[in-house]
Amino acid sequence: MIYYQDEKYLIRTMNESDPAVFAEEETAQGWHSSENKFNMRLKDMSEGKCIPLVAEICGERAGYINVYPDCKWGAFGGKGYPEIVDFAVLEKFRRQGVGSKLMDIAEQIAAEYAGTVYLGVGLHSGYGSAQRMYVKRGYIPDGSGVWYADKICPQYADCTNDDELNLYLSKKLMRNKT
């Protein structure tokens, strides 16, 4: 399904050829990646749990984002709110507006399900640009504190500043009337 298209951008549903391309591109830029995480999104889509989106710029895959309409984990898990999960733009396509376009479409989809959307953002410096973007888009911390490995990290607990250390943010949306 195509969610957005103009002369530069195409935002569409992820397909079976995307996992190999993204895993290869992410590995080439030094990220820890595998096809497994993308195949999991395709499986979740087939089960009606996830809407995985891919952005292309001039025909090249540039980034991806996933919307889980009724997420069961995280700070708002099980409350009927959608979560935006696993959002990335390949480094060679950054600062071209593709990340904003992906977020726009993900938020539009989320608004079809609830008036609030949430996401978890990593706390190490690799997430710095994402942290700034979320704040600019109106996301605020949920108030539950830092999470580690899908659980609230208690005060004074030991944890590692890796991809499992997150802060959950939420945003009120203009609910679509469909």
CA 138 to chain centre: 16
Classify residue 118 by its DSSP letter: E
Does the domain at residues 2-172 carry the CATH identifier 1.10.3720.10? no
pLDDT digits (tens, 9 = 90+) for 33-69: 899 999 999 999 999 999 999 999 999 999 999 999 9
What average pLDDT does this structure show over 120-133? 92
CA 13 to chain centre: 14
Q: Token match 């090249």: residue? A: 60
pTM for this entry: 0.92
Residue 77: predicted pLDDT: 87
Number of H helices, E strands in the chain: 4, 9
- Output the CA–CA distances (angstroms, integers) from residue 132 to 101, 121, 123, 154, 172, in the order listed: 16, 10, 12, 25, 18
Residue 176: predicted pLDDT: 57
